[in-house]
Amino acid sequence: MAAKDGVFQDLAAAVRAVVVRAATGVGRAAVAGAGAQYNSLMSTLARFLEQHPTYAGTSALDQLRASEYGRLDTQGHTYLDYTGAGLHADSQVREHAEWLTSGVFGNPHSASPSSMAATRAVERARASVLAYFNGTDNYTAVFTLNASGALKLVGESYPFCPGGRLLLTADNHNSVNGIREFASAKGSSVAYAPLGVPDLRIAQPELTALLDAADRSCANLFAFPAQSNFSGVKHPLALVDAAQERGWHVLLDAAAFVPTNPLDLRIVSPDFVSISFYKMFGYPTGLGCLLIRNSALATLQRPWFAGGTVNFATVQGSLHVLAPREAGFEDGTLNYLSIPAVEIGLRHLERIGLDTIQTRIECLTDWLLTELAALRHGNGRPMVRLYGPASTSMRGGTVTMNFYDPNGHLFDYRRIDELAGLKGISLRIGCFCNPGAGETAEGLTAEDMRAAVSEDADITLPRFLQIMEHRSGKSAGAIRVSLGLASNFADVERFLKFAAGLRDQTTLIIGAVTFDVESCRVIRDGS
């Protein structure tokens, strides 16, 4: 009971801070009503703790939030985009800054004292990555610009050929989907394993049939995500062994999985694993990693060479000798000042413990799913459509949805994003670079795609959204809320309160979107 009382006090303090900020933010007149609001939140909190007793064991994360992520509450910010990017702890930046100011570090491609100091730091970080995933003896760690860079390395270097196959799943990030361009250019066939609805899990019978179709005499690559960045579904890691037994190399996209889940490469051994460090612990950005199983290393054949990747190169002789292991894949000069921060981030996660993070996220995700599904307009119609599993079984802390008005008309997800931003809530909208899962969730078809392109050859996301709405009332995107190690009950409640505020609203009332997302990189203000 003492542990539960302790976590209740921590949460009560967090909720009280939210209430006080909300009250003082609109003037003194609102303070009088804060007591009733606070009592209501405390009642909700008691109900949550009763339904999720294991949450009491995660109270250390409340203390961590106060000491390492205090800027969230100081600024009144509700951060719900951990699948987009993790948040860094204050101590990570301090420790890295202390390291930077403690020595002189130069370009690693030399034997000078400054160069050797940088090399030692990089290799310590490389060893820590392999140790973290239990791959020290059987894997090679290649540092890349990001997870997409890791995936591109596999795509450009894998020996695709006529008769070989690339098998993807409809639930893949675009950086995995892009590998099909390398495969097709070299004559390999490309196929997609579909998803089942409504849970958006890989359709197992169809996948098995596709895996069984491999020609073992050719090179075959199967790529899938350990956790969906669209729906939060955790796809079974047993697929790795199942595919390898059928003559496939396996590429596991673990970018959305490893921030909150352990990946033990002694238990599950994909041939290639892509990860992103800023999604794990927020800092540094601009760094990813490709983990290559040593037995598959010789399979990759680099189509070019660069500075840092060769032991020997000649202009007159027009030949080169590629460096062995990771050196042959790390193009140019490594980000040698940032890579040591990876070791700091991994230690940070180890101190917290992934079990604690998992427990908290599972409790909060279950509460979020249940409460969103229960939201109704005054006429009884549901306010929210959730994509993916309705429970936390084999799913992570990513919850994707769309909102609807009392007449069942879809709200523009971009306007919901705007309104959430006005409340200090950071979430994410769009298709999240995962078009296959979004298309399956909304029932978009190949005919829909052809119709959109036929209407506008220079199709953009806003234009596609318009066409789909007018054509069939379907959405071409959604709203994604994702939880991470610094998430707490107050964050979830603040979003639920925002969602409940859309009850009985219409587009006329909430207003139209004031910006267009022209591309992944360009946002245009329409005001």
* Residues assigned a catalytic role: 433
Residue type, 217: S
Report the Cα 459 to chain-centroid distance in Å: 26
Q: Which two tokens stand for residue 461?
A: 């996301």
- List, edge to edge, every strand of the sheet that includes 165-169: 139-144, 288-293, 272-276, 249-253, 220-225, 165-169, 189-193
Distance CA 468, CA 481 (A): 23
Neighbours of 225 (CB within 10 A): 26
Please, what is the angle between helix 354-374 and helix 340-352, to 10°?
A: 70
Distance CA 406, CA 469 (A): 17
CB 406 within 8 A of CB 383: no
CB 89 within 8 A of CB 38: no
Cis preceding linkage at 284, omega within 30: yes
Question: Which residues is 190 bridged to in the sheet?
Answer: 166
Report the Cα 392 to chain-centroid distance in Å: 17
From the list 459, 493, 462, 489, the residue with the least C-alpha distance to 475 is 462
